[in-house]
Structure 1
């Protein structure tokens, strides 16, 4: 069965815990993960605040990976902000879904990656700060979307929810939390310097299983990256 090293990482648009913008530092942190697929949140494209860099394209070039960018917000003056997926394997299909709800400025990416002749779906999201809206989006959109894929599927992202929150409890009823395969000492992901909560997750459907899992130390962002070895 094929295996894939999958990571999820909120990169805070390249700003580290010191508040400094340093995309080379972010790229080094990404490279150190040794992942085949990396799901990124808080990614800028052509915005003044991050020196007009196309961040997903830049990371893909530095790491020798393919990329897909999914905008959560598009700005009238140009530029966008959202999520990105980097992959060492071919990305053969890609979609970007705006999450429903009044005033929602969030999205979920859906890509299919081909590995050794098999396809696996990767879903990547960064969720709302409002708990009620998160739960509505999880129950009404994300669970049906991911469940509709009949092959192996992985759901990654920054969910802005602790494990006992209603949205994560809902997701845990439908999908497997990769944390159960944790081989590392860390169990919390935010903030990166002194982690106090876990809000970043890698969920798997029934066609996948986690062989390993770890949360990785880094101060290249205010979140810690999460890495899982997935068999499908």
Structure 2
């Protein structure tokens, strides 16, 4: 299974041009991906730089026919004209998608400029079995909020593994069961650097025996520094550094065959990251 994660900055490139088709084309040039996880997708947000207000969830889905498009709305606010403005994450999969969950992450009170965040989860039928693919975009301004959000992600993973160990009763209609798994891939823009204690918290052990969430780059490269994934071409937010990661549950560690931080695309202020999981 080939998966790419990318904070697309609503399609705004380092050259100041907003082009969703270019972004999808760049992703395809990196790999013939099975799953694409996106952050910073917008709908009806004309106030964002170069953004005309289109529904980008629908536009991206149209650019990838044959992929199941799953929306994860973190921010949902009125536009003052009777409509809604939406902002969040997205998963697109050409592999079959079973149940989808949308976890609202903790939003602690804090005086920084902050906003609601979400963890989007979709069970994908990979060639080697069902995998819970999760993608998120954590708070930028507040470590206090990020810590709470990491605990929220860990709790979502813990409960999912508990549900596998203690299956619920099957039933008709809304109670029907669908495939799930302890195996998971967690992706996104975590707004933390590789050695941040809150980032390291993600990979701590669980007291219920759930498989730990391991940094896939570290699995293949040990202590070698992560390549930068942010501010390579647009340094408005600082010097180049890494804040985009792909974690895999411990039971998938042996399947990680390749992790690539693309350094060439300028279709966003972030760089896409590819992971390949072997059969």
TM normalised by structure 1 equals 0.90
Aligned counterpart for 2:13 among listed residues 13, 16, 36: 16
Paired residue secondary structure (1:149):
helix
Q: Name the structure 2 match of 1:176.
A: 214
Q: Name the structure 2 match of 1:215.
A: 261
CA RMSD of aligned residues (A): 2.1
Equivalent residues of 1:70, 1:82 under 8 A apart: yes
Displacement of 1:92 after TM fit? Answer: 1.4
1:44-94 deviations in Å (ceiling 9; x for gaps): 123334323222332222222211011110121213000001111122111
Q: Name the structure 1 match of 2:241.
A: 197
Alpha-carbon distance in structure 2 between the residues aligned to 1:79 and 1:90: 29
1:100-155 deviations in Å (ceiling 9; x for gaps): 1235411110111113482110111000021121012212x111212333321011
From the two aligned structures, give the one with the greater strand fraction: 1
Aligned counterpart for 1:108 among listed residues 114, 119, 142: 119
Alpha-carbon distance in structure 2 between the residues aligned to 1:214 and 1:83: 21
1:136 aligned onto 2:148: yes
Displacement of 1:17 after TM fit? Answer: 0.5
Q: Name the structure 2 match of 1:25.
A: 22
Alignment gaps of 5+ in structure 2: 110-114, 162-181, 205-211
Check 1:86–1:192 CA distance in 2 against 1; reply closer, same or farther (3 A cut).
farther
Q: Name the structure 2 match of 1:68.
A: 70
Number of residue equivalences: 227
Displacement of 1:219 after TM fit? Answer: 0.3
Equivalent residues of 2:6, 2:272 under 8 A apart: yes
Q: Which has the larger radius of gyration?
A: 2
Q: Name the structure 2 match of 1:187.
A: 227
